[in-house]
Amino acid sequence: MTTTVPAGVASTDGAGPVRTGQAARPQLLRALNEQLLLDHIRQLGPCSRAELARLSGLSKPTVSLALANVERSGLVRQAGQRTGVPGRSAVLYEIRPNAGYVLGLDIGRQYLRGAIADLTGTALAAAEHRTRASSTGGRVSELIGLADRLCAETGIARSAITQTVIGSPGVYDPQQRAIMLAGELAAWGKPAVLAELRQAFGQQLVVENDVDAATVAERKHGHGQQAGTFVFVWVGTGVGMGLVIGGNLHRGVHGLAGEIAFMPISAGRGSDPEDARRRGMLEAAGSAAAVVRAARRAGLRGPLTARRVFAAAKAGDERAVAVVDDEADLVARAICAIITVVDPELVVLGGGIGQAPGFAAAVTNRLASLAPVMPDVRVSALGTEAVVDGCLAAGTELAWQRLTASLPAVLPPGAAD
């Protein structure tokens, strides 16, 4: 039995679309069979020929031929034998981890983080360092240095990386071939920056919005695993949101879905108009820097950070308590606006402020008096590596697509029709 393309459904291989209502060419059918088996192995882990035949509905001879081809492609390897069950021991097949590598990098405002994973998504090395660069060129150099450090640690040449994904503030603009709305990293939007990054990491480089990347990680590893529609609201040095609808990340027509930093909400907090224009009104009023400004206006002195303001509030300082309450009110108002548009089943709070002890409870209490319905509100269980984790998850999918797209080209001699 072979895989067929249903009438009226268009499918594609490496050569282009299949016209509906016509029989598929044998070469395409082989490629579809191979892709089907690869997807089963990737999803379930080590599988035997018999299991793959049962799962796919393909005949055992067809499975054997397809497995032989994907083994030649280097995407699959034998993973030993299943023992301890009645009958002959079965050879198991699994995805070859070193068939491809993914590099994920996070360009934070204060820290650069990165990791390398194999094709199964297993992280092989991770690193971070506080950025010292005062220019975009310096930041690019630091990013390349971090990548080289990871490659040296794993023994993988940068040229051997199948896919690189960089999580960055802002949104990629394909018309300008640049990153726009990068907030505090305004100079990061110069076209020359992206050109430098592509020269270093290859033309297959993908730049992902950092909060969208964290949302992908939340969907794969966090609370989002159980929610079809949820929002990931990031409040820290910046303010942003990732939106998942029906299990898929929603970007919008221009890639701007989730740029809640530009919501015209300030809850009475004053902010520099130029800062609000550049970063967005909500971010200018609700970011970590805004919390520090509000604390100073309230009379707190000494070296201040948002973390110290929250610590002072926990210790009972009434001025800090008032600042934190105002921040919770501001975030609750923004989430209420999101609820009335998206109606998510889950809201996940991330970022330094979003994950601060007690902040989610304060936001939830205020939200209960504002919102027409109450979604579940949770604090992200992911750490500071959330953006990198999301980049690796997205990069693994892209690497898989690139590697499997070449399968028709590795058919054995004489197999092509």
Q: Is the pLDDT of residue 13 over 60?
A: no
268 vs 192, residue with greater confidence: 192
Q: For the chain, give me the number of helices (H) and strands (E)?
A: 14, 17
Q: What is the mean pLDDT of residues 195-205?
A: 90
CA-nearest of 387, 399, 404, 402 to 164 is 399
| Residue found by looking up tokens 């992911």 in the block | 382
Distance CA 352, CA 386 (A): 12
With cut-offs at 50, 70 and 90, classify the pLDDT of residue 16: very low
> In this predicted model, what pLDDT tens digit does every residue of 338-355 receive, in sequence order?
999 999 999 999 999 999
Q: Is the pLDDT of residue 242 over 60?
A: yes
> In this predicted model, what pLDDT tens digit does every residue of 109-155 receive, in sequence order?
889 999 999 999 999 999 999 988 878 888 899 999 999 999 999 99
DSSP state of 5: P
- Which CATH number describes the domain made up of 223-381? 3.30.420.40
Contact between 276 and 290 (Cβ < 8 Å) = no
Delimiting residues of CATH 3.30.420.40 domain(s) in the chain: 99-212+387-402, 223-381
CA-nearest of 255, 139, 128, 131 to 188 is 139
Distance CA 399, CA 160 (A): 12
Q: Which two tokens stand for residue 137?
A: 């060129």
Distance CA 151, CA 359 (A): 39
Calculate the average pLDDT of the chain.
86
Share of the chain above pLDDT 70, in %: 88
CATH 3.30.420.40 fits 99-212+387-402, yes or no: yes
pLDDT of residue 190: 80
Q: What is the mean pLDDT of residues 282-286?
A: 93
> In this predicted model, what pLDDT tens digit does every residue of 294-327 receive, in sequence order?
999 999 998 999 999 999 999 999 999 999 999 9
DSSP state of 348: E
25 vs 168, residue with greater confidence: 168
With cut-offs at 50, 70 and 90, classify the pLDDT of residue 178: confident
Q: Where does residue 384 rank: exposed (0-12), middle (13-18), buried (19+ CB within 10 A)?
A: middle
pLDDT of residue 290: 93
Looking at domain 12-95, its CATH architecture is: Orthogonal Bundle (1.10)
Delimiting residues of CATH 1.10.10.10 domain(s) in the chain: 12-95
> In this predicted model, what pLDDT tens digit does every residue of 209-223 receive, in sequence order?
999 999 999 999 999
pLDDT of residue 273: 77
DSSP state of 306: H
Q: Where does residue 262 rank: exposed (0-12), middle (13-18), buried (19+ CB within 10 A)?
A: middle
Distance CA 318, CA 170 (A): 36
pLDDT of residue 25: 67
pLDDT of residue 4: 32
Contact between 289 and 323 (Cβ < 8 Å) = no
With cut-offs at 50, 70 and 90, classify the pLDDT of residue 11: very low
Strand order across the 239-245 sheet: 248-249, 239-245, 230-235, 346-350, 376-379
Q: Report pTM.
A: 0.84
**What separation in angstroms does the CA of 63 have from each of 31, 71, 73, 408?**
12, 12, 15, 16
